[in-house]
Amino acid sequence: MALSTGSNKIKTAVFISGSGSNLNSLIKFSKLKKSPISIDIIITNNPKSKGLKFGKVFKIKKKIFNFKKKNLAEKQILFELKRKKINLICLAGFMKILSKTFIKNFSGKILNIHPSLLPKFKGLNTHERAIKNKEKYSGCTVHFVSSKLDSGKIILQKKVIINKSETPKTLGKKILIQEHKLYPRAILKVFSL
Ligand code: GAR
């Protein structure tokens, strides 16, 4: 596998709240020569986020912001991102909704991964709702972030079959495996020359 120095890549911040498996896959992708991005900072609202360990493993700077005061947190994040000359934000299991003002500041430069086939099942508990609704398929979507929740332009989607015996847990696991492949593919689709 070809590794690159990352010097002329798009400087990227990844925002997480939980286990960070998408962050891990994005970091690994970023180290490939073909990757148009480097990951320069990890941002979280959750000091207990398990994904923070990847910052340590890969020596990437991480910062925790308290979203109890969301306006202040967003201002501090913007300051930090501008200081580090970040040009792209990848939301990867980030469970806070960013304000319109924040999104405007990074207009067209925020991507998100969502565990459903949007526009179906925006918001939370997607797997429960897909199973309850007796859907034959679910999946994941990478999209641009707009001011309307989970509604920005879709970049790529991946479908998975929902089996008869499927539980939200098994479906979630199955979709997560696809997420890890889909996010890098979507980044390549948007940013490759
Ligand atoms: C992923 O399934 C992601 O699609 C979802 O949270 C999980 C995070 O897993 N995101 C959302 O639901 C956003 N609304 P990870 O922390 O292991 O990457």
Ligand 1 touching residue 179 (CB < 6 A):
yes
From first to last of its 193 residues, the chain has per-residue pLDDT tens of 455 554 789 999 999 999 999 999 999 999 999 999 999 999 999 999 999 999 999 999 999 999 999 999 999 999 999 999 999 999 999 999 999 999 999 999 999 999 999 999 999 999 999 999 999 999 999 999 999 999 999 999 999 999 999 999 999 999 999 999 999 999 999 998 6
114 given a catalytic annotation: yes
Residue 52 Cα to ligand 1 midpoint, Å, equals 14
Q: So what's the architecture of 10-190 in CATH?
A: 3-Layer(aba) Sandwich (3.40)
Domain ranges for the chain, please list them.
10-190
* Closest-lying ligand 1 atom to the alpha carbon of residue 179: 4
Residue 165 Cα to ligand 1 midpoint, Å, equals 23
Hey, what amino acid is at 106? F
Ligand 1 touching residue 16 (CB < 6 A):
yes
Entry pTM: 0.96
